[in-house]
């Protein structure tokens, strides 16, 4: 019953991932996050590593001392290279698109890798993308490989039922 009730309040996020761009669209209200998928990690004096900036702001943070920029979607063979940083990036984007509401329902997520899909994704890649979204706070996730989905034609149930993942 709880799952059914939760699904009524969930919104849907459509995540398109390129090596140098991430575009997340809230299908319900049209809000969009479209930036470079970068995470700036700063090492404090005590050795602790903290995230100091995400997205386009990470480029500005690069000039700070002890700061390293990571792109979790940059690898020669596959699109996902750093699971932990990609999950943190997703969490940040989810929070940005939620706003500052008191009650934030967990989203349903469609992850659409836009490149490095020649020959299809391996089961490991599909599982990693699904778990990436779930670990970032998604209620449900599906990996979609195919043509871009236009928001006016978006139907989560048909995407999920098509077994594209």
The pLDDT of residue 6: 52
Q: What is the mean pLDDT of residues 71-89?
A: 94
And the tokens for 22? 């991430």
| Angle between the N-to-C axes of helices 123-135 and 83-98, in degrees from 0 to 180, rounded to the nearest 10 | 50
Q: Which residues pair with 12 in a beta bridge?
A: 108
3-state secondary structure of 16: strand
Supply angle C-alpha 124, 27, 53, rounded to 5. 65
Structural domains of the chain, ranges and CATH numbers in brackets: 2-34+77-161 (3.30.420.40), 38-71 (no CATH)
Centre a 10 Å sphere on the Cβ of residue 61 and count the other Cβ atoms it contains.
19
3-state secondary structure of 39: strand
- State pLDDT tens for residues 95-110: 888 766 666 678 999 9
Q: According to the 3-state scheme, what is the secondary structure of 68-84?
A: EEECCCCCCCCCCCCHH
> b vs e for 95-128, b when ≥16 Cβ sit within 10 Å of the residue's Cβ?
eebbeeeeeeebbbbbbbbbebeeeebeeebbeb
This prediction has a pTM of: 0.87
- State pLDDT tens for residues 125-143: 999 999 999 999 999 999 9
């Amino acid at each position: 019953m709880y799952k059914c009730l939760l699904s009524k309040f969930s919104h849907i996020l459509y995540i398109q991932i390129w090596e140098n761009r991430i575009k997340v669209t809230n299908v319900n209200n049209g809000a969009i996050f479209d930036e470079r998928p970068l995470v700036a990690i700063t090492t404090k004096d005590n050795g602790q590593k903290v995230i100091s900036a995400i997205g386009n702001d990470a480029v500005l943070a690069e000039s700070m001392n002890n700061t390293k920029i990571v792109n979790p979607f940059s690898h020669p063979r596959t699109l996902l290279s750093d699971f932990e940083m990609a999950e943190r990036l997703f969490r940040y984007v989810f929070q940005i698109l939620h706003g500052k509401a008191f009650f934030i329902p967990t989203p349903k997520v469609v992850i659409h890798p836009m490149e490095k899909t020649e020959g299809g994704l391996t089961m490991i890649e599909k599982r990693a993308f699904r778990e990436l979204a779930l670990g970032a706070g998604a209620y449900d996730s599906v990996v979609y490989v195919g043509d871009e989905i236009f928001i006016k034609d978006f139907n989560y149930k048909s995407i999920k039922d098509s077994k594209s993942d």
